[in-house]
Structure 1
Amino acid sequence: MSSLRHSPEEAPRADPREDAYLDAARACILDVGWRRTTLTEIARRAGVSRMTIYRAWSDMSQLLGDLMTREWAGVVAASHGGTLMETVLATVRALRENELFVRIVELDPELLLPYLLNRRGRSQEAVIALMEQAIVDGQQAGTIRRCNPQVIARALLLAAHGFVLSAHTMVDDDVTEADLEAELRTLVERALAP
């Protein structure tokens, strides 16, 4: 199902101080989790009035959407480079190790469910757009198979979801995280091979 609420490109913030407010929200979530974080506590940590925070976000859900978009977009941007396969592997690894992502998965995993079961979010749209462009470029260079770039990008994102969220459930004495990463490499290589 396509998201009608979010565009793949993030609009510039009306107030450049909002990054400081998001930093305060991130710190709160890392300390006490999402359920115990309030706009009032975020305002206190940011050193501003509660109304200042309410002017930027009317509720915690809106703030969380902006925080997750900023965080995940930063992870993808930091992982981007080299081949598409290298970028996918680096992004999966970086998300699994991301402090905020790990904290949300540990304490409040239900926050991720809408983006896994009901709709794509801004971060997912941005990742798909980046992958689509890399796929088009690879197709033009003859290094990626001819197929609808949107389909390939979305399929890669779906596969990556499992490796980000569930890889730890597949690790035991017989299969290591490195084994799974090697298999992800094979999956991506074969999915893209011309």
Structure 2
Amino acid sequence: MSIRNGLSEPEPGDGPSDPVAGSLLDAAHDCIAAFGLRRLTLTDVARHAGVSRPTVYRRWRDINTLVADLLTREMRAALLTAAQQSGPADGPGGVRERLVRESSELLRALRGHPLLARILETEPEALVTYTFQRLGSSQRGALELIRPQITAGQADGTIRPGNPDELARMVMLLVQTTAQSWRLVDDVLPLDRLTGELRHLLDSYLRPVEA
């Protein structure tokens, strides 16, 4: 299963059927890039987009729901980038190898993403509110990618037995915790070494136990 299959459905207010909503999300993106997430209001978004406040309120009841949709859109883009760069599952490690590679590429995509990286660097506690304290649509999208690969890896013998839902949640947790907390280890684990350690951690976690 490719990430395109897992994330093929557009989010409410973020599809071609509502181009105004897409423009509003772009405006929110620009506002956050300019002055951060904490101070953002729907009025700011409306002003930057050149529309009335009711235009924004018809689509989002408050700034939290708008930011959640924006982060979901940007996370989907990061997931797509990771999937495209991870390559096929044709190595000796099969699906496990691809999933580990995909997870490390996602970490790189998150660190290199202009908006998400800025929030992670300057306001990580604000991002926690939207992304790390609940199972939101961005996490569900990630799980739609991870779980089928867990199942496929168990079928080809490259991933250990276990509940696919539990294994998928742990993979997601390891990646997002590493992405959130990179500043704690950056002095000893710059990005290349951090992604290497993440690959080692995930590979060891998923690898079948040899008899």
* Alignment check: 8 A CA contact 2:160 2:207 kept: yes
Q: Which stretch shows the higher mean deviation, 107-116 or 73-82?
A: 107-116
Give the one of 29, 33, 46 matched to 1:26: 29
Structure 2 partner of 1:136: 151
- Gaps of at least 5 residues in structure 1 are 1-8
Superposition map of 1:1-194 within 5 A = 11-13=11-13, 15-80=18-83, 81-82=86-87, 83-114=98-129, 115-116=131-132, 118-172=133-187, 174-194=188-208
Deviation at 1:10, TM superposition (A): 5.2
Q: What is the distance in 2 between the residues matched to 1:76 and 1:154?
A: 16
Give 3-state SS (helix, strand or coil) of 1:58's partner: coil
Q: Which SS does the other structure have where 1:21 is aligned? A: helix
1:144-172 Cα deviation digits (max 9, x unpaired): 22211111111111211232112232132
1:30/1:103 contact within 8 Å kept: yes
TM-score by length of 1: 0.85
Q: Is the 8 A contact 1:132 1:150 kept in 2?
A: yes
Does the 8 Å CA contact 1:85/1:188 hold for their aligned counterparts?
Answer: yes
Matching residue's letter, 2:74: E
Name the amino acid aligned to 1:167.
W
Q: Which residue of 2 aligns with 1:4?
A: none
| Percent of matched pairs sharing the same residue | 40
Q: Which moved more, 1:46-55 or 1:33-42?
A: 33-42
Deviation, structure 1 residue 12: 4.2
Please identify, of 46-55 and 11-20, the stretch whose mean Cα deviation from structure 2 is larger.
Answer: 11-20
| CA–CA separation in structure 2 for the residues paired with 1:153 and 1:76 | 15
Q: Hey, what's the Cα distance between the residues in 1 that align with 2:199 and 2:169?
A: 17
Distance 1:103 1:178 in 2: 19
Q: Which moved more, 1:97-106 or 1:86-95?
A: 97-106
Indicate conservation of the 8 Å contact 2:21/2:59, yes or no: yes
How far did residue 44 of structure 1 move? 2.3
CA distance in 1 between partners of 2:140 and 2:192 (Å): 28
After superposition, the CA RMSD in angstroms is: 1.9
SS of the aligned residue for 1:112 comes to helix
Contact in 1 for aligned 2:108/2:191 (Cα 8 Å): no
Q: Cα gap change, 1:35/1:137 in structure 2, threshold over 3 Å: closer, same or farther?
A: same
Deviation at 1:175, TM superposition (A): 4.2
1:10/1:122 contact within 8 Å kept: no
* Structure 2 spans left out of the alignment, 5+ residues: 1-8, 88-97
Match of 2:19, SS state, is coil
